[in-house]
């Protein structure tokens, strides 16, 4: 019989063994709708962030249920799934942006390296410098292009003097692939740039404070295909130095930019795996329905 080994995550322990029970299935066999646990290997060898048993409530409503997942160092991981399934909610857990929503409550454990990011001792401003965020709609500050990038390093006291700041601003814009386009207009407002340029400015702003992880919530949904291609190229380059988590509604984008993909459905993490496997050989029926366009 043509068989393949898959891992079904059965407990939330971070050690791959014995928490992962290996199940032999026919390659044609698919896990049915009623299977409740995450399918696929949630652990990685070199995790940057480790999330265990994460639940999120908006008042009494549970929006994210028992999500456990590692995010690997220098990987790009995509979160996909139908609208309202909890992708942004989970993304916001990773740098405590949910703290800004009064009715929102997060339980479980999320670690960045060895640090429990929900520990009382954590400085949330520092955390958000380590775990930066780029939003769906480009949101430059109402300041000059230069100041948009210089703002973070200044409030974090990262540089001494103008020459150092100039260097950091230029380097961040260069890394975001924007320097050539804005070199001669540094004092113009950030909002005077095109949508795609504004999004790269926001990426430059995130990079300037030297983050370790960059969270991107549908960063290209307001952009045309050319601007989108530039951001995707950039994501690929940035992976050398950063860990990137991207929420996207475009399965083509997830396939182009990410090494692993996580599929969410109604607040559950249904399946996680190598991006190729998720798109060519999904193991859960719900994942299959979504990628074949039967749902969402």
Ligand X SMILES: Nc1ncnc2c1ncn2[C@@H]1O[C@H](COP(=O)(O)OP(=O)(O)OP(=O)(O)O)[C@@H](O)[C@H]1O
**What is the binding site for Mg ion (CB under 5 A)?**
88
Regarding 89 and contact with ligand X (CB under 6 A), the answer is yes
In the list 87, 175, 265, 284, the residue contacting ligand X (rule: CB under 6 A) is 87
Q: Which of 217, 271, 264 is nearest to 82 (CA)?
A: 264
Quote the CA–CA distance of 273 and 283 in Å, as a whole number.
10
Quote the CA–CA distance of 82 and 294 in Å, as a whole number.
11
Judged by CB under 6 A, which stretch of 20-28, 82-90, 148-156, 234-242 contacts ligand X?
A: 82-90
Q: Which of 279, 272, 278, 240 is nearest to 20 (CA)?
A: 272
Regarding 84 and contact with ligand X (CB under 6 A), the answer is yes
DSSP string over 91-149:
HHHTTTGGGGSTTEEEEEEEEETTEETTSTT--HHHHHHHEEEE-SS----SSBHHHHH
- Least Å from the CB of residue 61 to ligand X: 6
In the list 39, 49, 63, 257, the residue contacting ligand X (rule: CB under 6 A) is 63
Regarding 95 and contact with ligand X (CB under 6 A), the answer is no
Quote the CA–CA distance of 175 and 235 in Å, as a whole number.
10
Binding to ligand X in span 102-161, by CB under 6 A: 103
Regarding 88 and contact with ligand X (CB under 6 A), the answer is yes
With contact defined as beta carbons under 8 Å apart, do 200 and 118 qualify? Answer: no
Token output for 13: 């322990």
Q: What are phi and psi of 57, to 5 degrees?
A: -120, 135
Regarding 58 and contact with ligand X (CB under 6 A), the answer is yes
- Least Å from the CB of residue 85 to ligand X: 4
Regarding 67 and contact with ligand X (CB under 6 A), the answer is no
Alpha-helical (H) ranges within 2-136 are 16-19, 87-93, 124-130
Regarding 296 and contact with ligand X (CB under 6 A), the answer is no
- Binding-site size for ligand X (CB under 6 A) equals 12
243 binds, among Mg ion, ligand X, none (CB under 5 to 8 A by kind): none
Judged by CB under 6 A, which stretch of 5-13, 85-93, 152-160, 272-280 contacts ligand X?
A: 85-93
- Least Å from the CB of residue 245 to Mg ion: 13
Enumerate binding residues for ligand X (CB under 6 A). 58, 63, 81, 83-89, 101, 103
């Amino acid at each position: 019989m043509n068989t393949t080994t898959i891992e079904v995550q059965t407990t939330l322990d971070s050690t791959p063994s014995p928490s992962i029970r290996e199940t032999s299935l026919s390659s044609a066999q698919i896990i049915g709708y009623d299977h409740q646990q995450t399918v696929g290997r949630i652990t990685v060898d070199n995790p940057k962030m480790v999330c265990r048993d994460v639940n999120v409530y908006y008042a009494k409503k549970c929006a994210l249920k028992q999500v456990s997942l590692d995010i690997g160092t220098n990987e790009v991981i995509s979160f996909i799934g139908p609208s309202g399934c909890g992708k942004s909610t989970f993304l916001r857990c990773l740098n405590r942006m949910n703290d800004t929503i009064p009715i929102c409550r997060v339980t479980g454990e999320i670690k960045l390296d060895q640090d429990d990011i929900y520990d009382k001792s954590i400085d949330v401003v520092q955390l958000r410098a380590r775990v930066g965020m780029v939003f769906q709609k480009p949101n430059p500050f109402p300041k000059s292009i230069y100041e948009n990038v210089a703002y973070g390093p200044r409030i974090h006291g990262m540089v001494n003097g103008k020459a150092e700041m100039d260097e950091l601003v230029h380097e961040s814009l260069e890394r975001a692939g924007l320097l050539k386009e804005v070199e001669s207009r540094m004092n113009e407002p950030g909002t005077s740039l095109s949508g795609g340029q504004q999004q790269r400015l926001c990426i430059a702003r995130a990079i300037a404070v030297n983050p370790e992880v960059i969270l991107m919530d549908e960063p290209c949904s307001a952009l045309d295909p050319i601007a989108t291609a530039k951001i995707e190229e950039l994501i690929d380059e940035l992976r050398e130095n950063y860990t990137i988590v991207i929420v996207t509604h475009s399965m083509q984008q997830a396939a182009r930019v990410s090494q692993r993909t996580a599929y969410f459905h109604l607040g559950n993490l249904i399946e996680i795996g190598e991006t190729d496997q998720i798109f060519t050989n999904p193991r859960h029926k719900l994942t299959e329905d979504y990628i074949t366009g039967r749902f969402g």
